[in-house]
Structure 1
Amino acid sequence: MSRVFVNEGGHAREITLDAFCAEADHATFSWIHADGWREDARDIVSRCDHMPEAALSALLAQETRPRCTLMAHGALINLRGLGSEDDASGDPLVSIRLWAEQARVISVSYRPLAAFEPVMKRMLAGTIHDPGDLIAAFAQEITEALDPEIAQLGDNLDEIESTLSDTGSPEVRREVSEIRATAISYRRFIAPQRQALERLSAADAPWLHADDRLHLQEAADRCARMAEELEAVRERSALAHEELTDLRAEQMNRQALIISVVALVFLPLTFLTGLLGMNVNGIPFAHEAWAFWGVVAVCVAMAAGIGGWFAATHWLRR
């Protein structure tokens, strides 16, 4: 559903869209947010005049990546942040599209953004007075929410690396793969988001003040650091996965070696017992009372001799 917020001389409030269209000229700053899935989203956005058609199409596009594009008298900014806890569908990072011009911001999202509620509260508290404040607030809330999530990926990988030589279970390999996939997915949007924020902070826009540029640059720096951390996590997880694979292969090779040694020990014993078990005449000592125990003793001696040879040549060394 659409949300409309206005700031009139430091006093902020939420009004209906019809009321906004009737008294838009009285607000010193207004923010219109539309749900992209609603059929009337295009009508809601198009009721705000002076927007280029290219910006309107970009606002309503479903597939986006972070960017900042200056158009005519305004700027189109796409940002990505964590979605709400209730939304687990699609990409882990949710897009919000913003068209900013003098005294007005129009935003569209298709999925709930976790940063929306904190920014809305700041808007209603009267601390957001212009488009620069609003975009800087979104940038700050998004980066502050993402920072611990990315740090947690590194911490999880640290725990796995500390016990890497002690385990090679499929669950650990699956966890490493998930960490790597998450890092790749995050970095896909964090890296261009840094560029978008840097470009916006350097844009020649009258509604961007010095403090707004400072906050945008700070958010861009945090995005740069998070992108570097994600790249490190991606490379470390790839190395950890390779080490786990090597460890698993080593375990399988050792198991195969043990099976081979056991088979080699019993191979001559099987030959001997098979030879003496033939149902033909002429087998030596077949009718002696000690014959069975004699064969057992020979088998034990052969097994001990072969096992001792394997031990002496370090076949069973770890």
Structure 2
Amino acid sequence: MRCVAFLAGDGPARRIGREEAAAYRGPGFVWLHAENGVDEEVQLLAGEEDMPDVAASALVATETRPRCDRISDGALVNLRGLAEAGVESTDRLVSIRFWVRHGKITSVCRRPMAATATVVKEMEAGSILDPGDLVAAFARTISRELDPQVADLGDQLDDCETELETRSIYRLRARIAGIRVEAIAYRRFVAPDRDALVSLAAMGFDWLAEEDQLHIRDAADRFARMAEELEAVRERAALLHEQLTDLRAEQLDTRSLIIAIVALIFLPLTFVTGLLGMNVRGIPYAQEPWAFWGVVAFCTAIGLVIAAYFARLHWFRR
């Protein structure tokens, strides 16, 4: 578990200890952040004196969805974003929970989030000076990192449409199904991320400057666009899946038709050869030297006549 505290204000942020963070009442703001999911540390953060029970419960919850709730002069904000590379998670996006009030932010990630390192760099560079800047930075970074992932799903689906006539239907169906599952999993959290940020921007906290509200609305707009694109990907994947199902049914019909034509051509030939192949006396021309080739010619003629009949009915082009 990593638990760090930052003091930011006038100039670059610096790391401080937990005791200093708890006692600090000066200018600027303190960000107390824990990640990687050890319950003891999370419970310790949730037990701070200035934290309401609702916020404490939200920080220690094992399962969350994006939300934004006002509690007095503070905000409880949950967002979802991409995990750090190599982090295993049952969900496509991992959560970060904020309890934000004037002068202090407490946040928890049970699994490391990719956006955290970027925000920490911005904070250490001195571009984050208040709680509103920090929340806006997370919203902006999460949406920017997720945008290429969503766009890539659309590109993969475009490739599937291009390769529809050239690749194996069975492998293409599996790929399209995977894209659809990814789109559904992303959309499960992208749309609530948008709603949470829209709600936060509209609450008008004194620690949320107008510029921060603009950044948050911009991130919310990006999430809205991603939600629309994910919905389009899901619908297109469903249509492609139906098209592949139709193509598969057409292939099966064509193969069944070919089998039926071959069976119908050989059915009378089998009857003739079976009749002449009986081990009884009296079969005509059994002792003639030309009898075998005569039977072959007769069967060939019958086969050609039946094939011509099916060709006239256009069965071979169905």
Same fold? TM cut 0.5: yes
Could you tell me which amino acid in structure 2 is paired with residue 109 of structure 1?
C
Q: Which runs of 5+ in 1 are unaligned?
A: none
Tell me the equivalent position of 1:7. Answer: 8
Q: CA deviation at 1:43?
A: 4.3
Q: Could you tell me how far apart the structure 1 residues matched to 2:11 and 2:97 are?
A: 25
Tell me the equivalent position of 2:231. Answer: 231
Tell me the equivalent position of 1:221. Answer: 221
Tell me the equivalent position of 1:277. Answer: 277
Contact 2:5–2:32 at 8 Å: present in 1 too?
A: yes
Contact 1:59–1:107 at 8 Å: present in 2 too?
A: yes
Contact 2:139–2:219 at 8 Å: present in 1 too?
A: yes
Q: Could you tell me how far apart the structure 2 residues matched to 1:246 and 1:262 are?
A: 24
Contact 2:46–2:57 at 8 Å: present in 1 too?
A: no
> Residues 27-50 of structure 1: CA distance to partner in whole angstroms, max 9, x if unpaired?
521101113621322443135321
Q: Could you tell me how far apart the structure 1 residues matched to 2:119 and 2:231 are?
A: 29
Q: CA deviation at 1:303?
A: 0.8
* Misfit runs of 4+, over 6 Å: none
Q: Which runs of 5+ in 2 are unaligned?
A: none
Q: Is 1:78 aligned to residue 69 of structure 2? A: no
Contact 1:168–1:247 at 8 Å: present in 2 too?
A: no
Tell me the equivalent position of 2:35. Answer: 35
Q: Could you tell me how far apart the structure 1 residues matched to 2:44 and 2:124 are?
A: 21
Q: How many residues align?
A: 317
Aligned with 2:25: secondary structure? helix
CA RMSD of aligned residues (A): 1.4
> Residues 261-297 of structure 1: CA distance to partner in whole angstroms, max 9, x if unpaired?
1111111100000000111111111111111111010
Contact 1:66–1:77 at 8 Å: present in 2 too?
A: yes
Tell me the equivalent position of 2:123. Answer: 123
Tell me the equivalent position of 1:140. Answer: 140
Q: CA deviation at 1:85?
A: 1.1
Tell me the equivalent position of 1:97. Answer: 97
Contact 2:38–2:110 at 8 Å: present in 1 too?
A: no
Tell me the equivalent position of 1:21. Answer: 22
Q: CA deviation at 1:140?
A: 0.3
Q: Could you tell me how far apart the structure 1 residues matched to 2:207 and 2:49 are?
A: 18
> Residues 71-108 of structure 1: CA distance to partner in whole angstroms, max 9, x if unpaired?
12210000011111111331111110011000111100
Contact 1:168–1:248 at 8 Å: present in 2 too?
A: no
The 5-angstrom pairing of residues 291-310 of structure 1 reads 291-310=291-310
Q: Which moved more, 1:51-60 or 1:33-42?
A: 33-42
> Residues 153-184 of structure 1: CA distance to partner in whole angstroms, max 9, x if unpaired?
10110111123233343211111001101111
Aligned with 1:246: secondary structure? helix
Q: State the identity as a percent.
A: 52
Could you tell me which amino acid in structure 2 is paired with residue 5 of structure 1?
F
Tell me the equivalent position of 1:255. Answer: 255
Q: Could you tell me how far apart the structure 2 residues matched to 1:142 and 1:83 are?
A: 10
TM-score normalised to structure 1 length: 0.96
Q: Could you tell me how far apart the structure 2 residues matched to 1:43 and 1:26 are?
A: 26
Q: Could you tell me how far apart the structure 1 residues matched to 2:232 and 2:204 are?
A: 35
Q: Which moved more, 1:31-40 or 1:273-282?
A: 31-40
Tell me the equivalent position of 1:190. Answer: 190
Q: Which moved more, 1:229-238 or 1:284-293?
A: 284-293
Could you tell me which amino acid in structure 2 is paired with residue 51 of structure 1?
M
Q: Could you tell me how far apart the structure 1 residues matched to 2:251 and 2:257 are?
A: 10
TM-score normalised to structure 2 length: 0.96
